[in-house]
A and B are shown apart, each in its own frame.
Chain A
């Protein structure tokens, strides 16, 4: 097993690649150690829809890293995007080899296997080169779909959203909001006039709505299981209890042990229904599972969240109007698609009923059009490219 350990803060990937290519063994080793950590994260995310078990994914990850390291003398640094293409190619090959060797695992999703088309390399390369960290990626998404001004700093965006939450959701007065924001040494004093501009801005309302309506897989699973904090520790404890066949270990939930397992697989792990049914610990049949999912849908938090939001914004029709903006719903859909689940039906269930209250009529067809053929991702990549051009022009 490779035991490259990196120490110190993570540099950007370009620097790691440069270090990996160094003739100095120590520098090269250290560079690869950092690359391995970054690559491991990406590989686990990539393989999640392709290999069922965590152990299987880890085996493939290790093999990918081993192969790249063993061929390091032939490696040429052609940039960040080229690195990821190399990793993906190695991951696809290692997964196929693993499946052939083990035999038990079926390749669930082969649609993403293979090289990227030549017509797309420039766009993809430019996009990946523009991303400093994950926050940059989601920042571009906020600018594109929520309308945030690119010149605003992270703190400026944060303060606008915080002001909106305090005013619209917590019902604080404008002077209370100003008092809170102006308490510490955190930049220019916010006046009443400036606060009004912030609160009335379309982008602030859309950002507020986005944050109110979005729930991670862990938060959704925690909500369904009645766990207040939805922390990793709490969910892991529930998982251990649910997966155990020891009836002496009781669960404290209103759901049965078998139902909890399915809820965790479906909503926390974003597993497809056919894979859940194939799971050896799944004791529900198709009909029971469908019934369970209907009950879960009735307990989803999104409609109550949207009702609360609409109620809080009712006094400000112009603000409420922003809930019907397509950009808000595309932003939500995109976030779910990138972070939580690639299943269109799952994303639809988390957004459509809430959208209807905006009112914004989101259909399965629309969602399929947005997500199919990478349209939203392409739009974002093009936006990032235009942003980079704008920067270089200045």
Chain B
């Protein structure tokens, strides 16, 4: 092979002819507003993303349009749902983005009523139900954004009936040693084997396992205690969070016992965007009369709360994207309780727990 080789005009012409004859994979050379909004909304499948990104790279003007759409969405996402829904924009492109975004955001909530809003139930959403699977993954992605999901999740176990057990003096519930192991099997099921401490080996009791995030519990699932141990199976968990088959390293998460959480907490996907929690969630977020409603109790000792002017409630639309639902000024006279009520992004749902993840934040 000669790096300095030349080619005759005949050879070059032959190559050019052959290349012109070769097929060129047909790609999309233009993108509409709906595609850009869905791409930025994080609601596209892998195949759709490939198509969009190829088109973007082929046409620089599309990247400019993408940037404009991104900046417009950023503004829209920080408007309350009521303003977003009722307002119109003078610029036709921005107005089109607004309309598309409302549709994408409202579609990001699960439409069915889950018996309990736990990861176990998310994992059991039928795989052919692509939209809901995508929504479930989107909710997890939202929790991973903003650093809300702990890097080393602490699982918490509690039994509903054992909280009245007399404890030895000096005995702390959360210091009880629990042995456990976890693995993902070949079908993508998470299997957690838990051996309870002797004092908690009550046959037939239901053991609830949850992630603790910002003092809120995100339900993982439940299992009944048999012979002092419980096995928690979460089919589909592996694929949902992207874990491959095999044992999970022990340092991946910890597990401790706790008292049974407040009624609303288990299954309530309300997280708080602050270095320390600034509110207690006092009721399960519900959709009633076309409104989202949740009761909170502000924690007056919170430093961040003292510096803030208002409380914001956001909902996760998937793809680490949040949309503001409402904003309420912090009462000057702090009776510490607030009822946050605002129009629901999915008016068709009535009388159910909010089917998505909510985030409380402070506005300064």
Q: Is A137's CB under 8 angstroms from B49's CB?
A: no
Q: Find chain B residues with CB under 8 A from A179 CB.
A: 320
A158 within 8 A of B: yes
Q: Is A170's CB under 8 angstroms from B64's CB?
A: yes
A41-B20, A162-B53, A176-B70 known, 20 other contacts, Cβ within 8 Å: A13-B22, A43-B17, A81-B18, A111-B9, A116-B8, A116-B14, A134-B19, A134-B22, A137-B22, A162-B63, A165-B60, A166-B63, A170-B63, A182-B320, A183-B40, A183-B42, A185-B49, A375-B7, A379-B3, A381-B15
A382 within 8 A of B: yes
Can you spell out 22 A-B residue pairs with CB atoms less than 8 angstroms apart?
Answer: A84-B17, A84-B21, A111-B9, A112-B9, A112-B10, A116-B11, A123-B7, A154-B54, A158-B57, A159-B53, A166-B63, A166-B66, A170-B63, A176-B70, A180-B70, A182-B320, A183-B41, A184-B45, A184-B48, A373-B8, A374-B12, A382-B3
Q: Is A42's CB under 8 angstroms from B17's CB?
A: yes
> Are A39 and B21 CB-contacts (below 8 A) given A114-B10, A165-B63?
yes
Q: Find chain A residues with CB under 8 A from B319 CB.
A: 182-184
Binding-face segment, A65-73, A125-133, A290-298, A359-367: A125-133
Q: Find chain B residues with CB under 8 A from A123 CB.
A: 1, 5, 7, 11
Q: Is A135's CB under 8 angstroms from B11's CB?
A: no
The number of chain A residues with a CB under 8 A from chain B is 68
Q: Is A135's CB under 8 angstroms from B24's CB?
A: yes
A120 within 8 A of B: yes
B321 within 8 A of A: yes
Nearest-neighbour CB distance to chain B for A133, whole angstroms, equals 5
Q: Is B67's CB under 8 angstroms from A172's CB?
A: yes
**How many Å lie between the Cα of A211 and that of B301 in the bound state?**
56
Nearest-neighbour CB distance to chain A for B78, whole angstroms, equals 14
Lowest 3 CB-CB distances: which A-B pairs, in order? A374-B7, A42-B21, A45-B20
Q: What bracket does the count of chain B residues touching chain A fall in?
A: 35 or more
Q: Which of B24-59 contact A (CB under 8 A)?
A: 24-25, 39-46, 48-50, 53-54, 56-57
**How many Å lie between the Cα of A232 and that of B54 in the bound state?**
20
Q: Is A133's CB under 8 angstroms from B22's CB?
A: yes
**Interface residue ranges, A against B (CB under 8 Å):** 10, 13, 38-46, 80-81, 84-85, 87-88, 111-117, 120, 123-124, 127-128, 131-135, 137, 154-155, 158-159, 161-162, 165-166, 169-170, 172, 176, 179-180, 182-187, 211-212, 338, 373-375, 377-379, 381-382, 385-386
**Interface residue ranges, B against A (CB under 8 Å):** 1-3, 5-25, 39-46, 48-50, 53-54, 56-57, 60, 63-64, 66-67, 70, 137, 319-321
**How many Å lie between the Cα of A185 and that of B38 in the bound state?**
12
Nearest-neighbour CB distance to chain B for A8, whole angstroms, equals 13
Q: Find chain A residues with CB under 8 A from B137 CB.
A: 185
Q: Is A186's CB under 8 angstroms from B19's CB?
A: no
**How many Å lie between the Cα of A155 and that of B48 in the bound state?**
12
Q: Is A84's CB under 8 angstroms from B14's CB?
A: yes
Nearest-neighbour CB distance to chain B for A185, whole angstroms, equals 5
Q: Is A385's CB under 8 angstroms from B13's CB?
A: no
Q: Find chain A residues with CB under 8 A from B63 CB.
A: 162, 165-166, 169-170
Q: Is A38's CB under 8 angstroms from B23's CB?
A: yes
**How many Å lie between the Cα of A137 and that of B41 in the bound state?**
35
Closest A residue by C-beta to B68: A170
**How many Å lie between the Cα of A295 and that of B43 in the bound state?**
48
